[in-house]
């Protein structure tokens, strides 16, 4: 059980009595917002659990956690700091989860959102990063799935250009 302990100044740490100064952490959780890294790990674990169990609740929770990791504390899309250190990897994980949600529920809007996040992740990652090559591979798969559907104003990247960029990449996808 995770706990927070408060030590009185008169008592040293060796004299601590857990029952007297014990505060359950779960009661304080509503005051502390989880950070992006925690949300990324939790969302990735739930996405992996969905892959093994097939529970749609796990996939929905994974998408919610990964969305919070990508959006951070921004109120509007223009406020998102895409230059954050791992933002591209976060957006890639969210795009993959959304792509899996499309394959599960077949909602075209979900696939459109997945393509947008995967495209943003490719743009945010450095040229020589293995994560960028992985994001390019994921984007190619999502765009190939999106091509037969009606466009409805969606500007899709060119597949031949994406494949050329992946072949010229210095890092192989892992």
What pTM does this model have?
0.73
d(CA 49, CA 98): 15
Check: CB of residue 124 under 8 Å from CB of residue 90.
no
Of the candidates 119, 139, 143, 137, the residue with the CA atom closest to the CA atom of residue 173:
137
Where are the chain's structural domains? 1-32, 35-167
Residues β-bridged to residue 22: 5
Mean pLDDT, the chain, integer: 77
Query: φ, ψ for residue 153 (rounded to 5)?
Result: 80, 5
Cα distances (Å, whole numbers) of residue 87 to 8, 46, 65, 92, 117 = 41, 19, 14, 9, 11
pLDDT tens by residue, 72-93: 765 556 666 666 667 888 899 9
Average pLDDT, integer, range 145-171: 83
Look at 153 and 101; give whichever has higher pLDDT: 101
pLDDT on residue 169: 80
Of the candidates 115, 94, 104, the residue with the CA atom closest to the CA atom of residue 44:
94
Q: What pLDDT band is residue 6 in, cutting at 50, 70 and 90?
A: very low
pLDDT tens by residue, 33-57: 567 788 888 999 999 999 999 889 9
Q: What pLDDT band is residue 12 in, cutting at 50, 70 and 90?
A: very low
Of the candidates 110, 61, 71, the residue with the CA atom closest to the CA atom of residue 91:
71
The distance of Cα 164 from the centroid of its chain, to the nearest Å, equals 26
d(CA 62, CA 44): 7
Look up the CATH number of domain 35-167: 1.25.40
The residue to which tokens 């190939």 are assigned: 144
* CB within 8 Å of 111: residues ≥ 6 apart: 98, 99, 102, 142, 145, 146, 149
């Amino acid at each position: 059980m995770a706990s927070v302990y408060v030590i009185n100044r008169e008592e040293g740490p060796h004299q601590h009595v857990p029952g007297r100064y014990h505060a359950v952490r779960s009661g304080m959780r509503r005051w502390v917002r989880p950070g992006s890294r925690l949300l990324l790990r939790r969302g990735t674990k739930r996405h992996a659990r969905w892959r093994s169990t097939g529970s749609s609740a796990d996939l929905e929770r994974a998408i919610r956690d990964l969305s919070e990791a990508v959006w951070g504390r921004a109120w509007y899309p223009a406020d998102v700091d895409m230059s954050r250190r791992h933002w591209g990897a976060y957006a890639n994980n969210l795009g993959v989860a959304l792509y899996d949600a499309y394959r599960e529920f077949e909602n075209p809007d979900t696939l459109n959102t997945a393509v947008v996040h995967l495209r943003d992740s490719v743009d945010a990652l450095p040229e020589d990063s293995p994560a960028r090559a992985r994001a390019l591979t994921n984007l190619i798969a999502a765009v190939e799935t999106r091509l037969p559907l009606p466009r409805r104003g969606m500007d899709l990247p060119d597949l031949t250009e994406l494949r050329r960029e992946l072949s010229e990449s210095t890092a192989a996808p892992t």
